[in-house]
């Protein structure tokens, strides 16, 4: 069922709903289109599945286009993704031709006559090159931009200088010497989606039975793509340490997104290493694209771990906090925006496997502590990271184009 803003009233309150309608009034009849590279698998697609209908519900004519690309294109953009997060890359003419060629091809059969164009992440970034610009273009980067490859960033700026605004998730991602406006808008979750909504008691055991997931032991879970930046091998090492003190299970659950060709290789490596660690079924790997399953796993887990090496924001952390679960996570990227260490969760350096293990053991053996932290966690998400706040932020940004020209931000 298509969601309407009023559906969120009981969760966020009257003031939030009224504020959103006031912001939307300035944009009645305006057309906006979002463009990204996949309809499912990953936080961007999940946000757009709710954000676009809500924009339409409040009077903004919003659409959503998916950039098409072949395996070579997504292979290149995955390398770009890694380079944005600090890996070195050699920019060859072939890489550039594959990258821009897919965008040029898309532009030949996709007409953009909207009042605003919002481009998400690097895959569709060059699209602006293939249109006669008649409206504001916004690039929304969901990735950690704190230390990008200089060679790649110089190449990206060739396209970015034509954009009017760049949106990032964290103040640390703002780029100096980029003479376009930059905004900070953290991502958010939909509390009414299949992944996050409250569940009837009967659904949880049925779902666990369907996927053959036993809950006779404490459960440690990481929900993430099988991606080296999520450090699933490091999670295995932490689990091995915890297992010495607490007889528990580890669940690694991650989807295989169409725009991430490295996922299957990482999964196979994790599977091999898990088999060497334990051979008794206490490590469960799941690659099912099932939001209900994720919801159930987060609710039945005793502790949620997010051991990312890099993390643009970390919506899986937000989801777990919303379920009222104790979360131990890496002090990187957007995660510390969500977790106040020791209050609504716990932060560790990504390589502090001993620290992770000790805290997980403490939480598994101290349920009162876990419950208290979880309650605080849920309320922190309600106040800061729900889709209604994201909708309001976008409406405020789009409205600013009609107030006055966007000033340059040279001092980011």
Q: What is the pLDDT of residues 133-182, one digit of tens each?
A: 999 999 999 999 999 999 999 999 999 999 999 999 999 999 988 999 99
Residues 36 and 128 reside in one and the same domain? yes
Domain range enclosing 356: 203-384
Residues 147 and 208 reside in one and the same domain? no
Residues 174 and 51 reside in one and the same domain? yes
Q: What are phi and psi of 171, to 5 degrees?
A: -60, -25
Any domain includes 61: yes
According to the model, what pLDDT value does residue 408 have? 43
Any domain includes 410: no
Residues 356 and 339 reside in one and the same domain? yes
The low-confidence residues of the chain, meaning pLDDT below 70, are 41, 256-261, 263, 277-279, 402-412
Distance between CA atoms of residues 379 and 181, nearest Å: 32
Instruction: Please choose, from the candidates 230, 3, 47, 253, the residue with its C-alpha nearest in 3D space to the C-alpha of residue 142.
Output: 47
CA distance readout (Å), 181 to 170, 308, 403, 409: 15, 29, 15, 5
Residues 6+ apart with CB under 8 A from 150: none
Residues 216 and 261 reside in one and the same domain? yes
According to the model, what pLDDT value does residue 392 have? 97
Chain centroid to Cα 121, Å, comes to 11
Residue 232 is part of a domain; what is its CATH number?
A: 3.40.50.2000
According to the model, what pLDDT value does residue 271 have? 84
In this structure, are residues 291 and 223 in contact, taking their beta carbons and an 8 Å threshold? Answer: no
Residues 223 and 266 reside in one and the same domain? yes
Residues 60 and 176 reside in one and the same domain? yes
According to the model, what pLDDT value does residue 168 have? 96
Q: How long is the chain?
A: 412
Residues 240 and 114 reside in one and the same domain? no
Instruction: Please choose, from the candidates 73, 80, 65, 236, the residue with its C-alpha nearest in 3D space to the C-alpha of residue 143.
Output: 80
Number of C-alpha atoms within 13 angstroms, CB side, residue 66? 13
What is the rounded (10 degree) CA torsion for 69, 73, 74, 77? -120
CA distance readout (Å), 41 to 280, 288, 308: 30, 10, 18
Any domain includes 333: yes
Chain centroid to Cα 409, Å, comes to 26
Q: How many helices (H) and strands (E) does the chain have?
A: 15, 12
Any domain includes 107: yes
Residues 184 and 269 reside in one and the same domain? no
Residues 152 and 258 reside in one and the same domain? no
Residues 342-381: tens digit of each pLDDT: 999 999 999 999 999 999 999 999 999 999 999 999 999 9
Residues 373 and 397 reside in one and the same domain? no
Residues 371 and 244 reside in one and the same domain? yes
């Amino acid at each position: 069922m298509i969601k309407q803003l009023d559906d969120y009233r009981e969760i966020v309150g009257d003031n939030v709903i009224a504020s959103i309608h006031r912001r939307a009034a300035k944009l009645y009849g305006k057309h906006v289109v979002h463009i990204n590279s996949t309809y499912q698998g990953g936080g961007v697609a999940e946000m757009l599945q709710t954000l676009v209908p809500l924009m339409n519900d409040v009077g903004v004519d919003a659409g959503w286009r998916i950039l098409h690309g072949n395996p070579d294109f997504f292979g290149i953009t995955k390398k770009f993704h890694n380079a944005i997060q600090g890996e070195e890359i050699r920019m060859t003419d072939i890489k550039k031709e594959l990258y821009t060629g897919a965008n040029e091809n898309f532009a030949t059969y996709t007409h953009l006559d909207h009042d605003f164009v919002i481009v998400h992440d690097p895959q569709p970034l060059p699209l602006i090159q293939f249109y006669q610009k008649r409206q504001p273009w916004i690039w929304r980067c969901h990735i950690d931009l704190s230390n990008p490859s200089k060679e790649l960033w110089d190449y990206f700026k060739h396209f970015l200088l034509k954009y009017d605004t760049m949106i990032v998730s964290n103040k640390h991602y703002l780029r100096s010497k980029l003479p376009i406006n930059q905004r900070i808008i953290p991502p958010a979750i939909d509390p009414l989606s299949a992944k996050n909504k409250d569940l009837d008691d009967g659904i949880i055991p049925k779902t666990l039975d369907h996927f053959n997931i036993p809950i006779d032991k404490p459960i440690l879970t990481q929900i993430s793509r099988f991606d080296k930046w999520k450090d699933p091998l490091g999670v295995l090492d932490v689990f091995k340490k915890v297992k010495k003190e607490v007889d528990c299970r580890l669940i690694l659950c991650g989807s295989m997104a169409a725009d991430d060709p490295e996922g299957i290789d990482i999964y196979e490596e994790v599977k091999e290493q898990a088999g060497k660690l334990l051979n008794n079924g206490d490590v469960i790997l799941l690659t099912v694209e099932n939001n209900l399953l994720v919801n159930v796993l987060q609710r039945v887990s005793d502790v949620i771990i997010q051991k990312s090496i890099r993390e643009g924001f970390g919506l899986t952390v937000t989801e777990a906090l919303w379920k009222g679960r104790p979360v131990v996570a890496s002090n990187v990227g957007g995660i510390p925006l969500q977790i106040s260490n020791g209050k609504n969760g716990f932060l560790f350096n990504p390589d502090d496997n001993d620290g992770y293990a000790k805290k997980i053991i403490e939480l598994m053996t101290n349920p009162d502590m876990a419950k208290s932290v979880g309650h605080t966690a849920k309320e922190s998400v309600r106040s800061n990271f729900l889709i209604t706040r994201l909708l309001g932020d976008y409406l405020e940004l789009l409205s600013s184009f009609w107030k006055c020209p966007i000033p340059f931000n040279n001092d980011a």
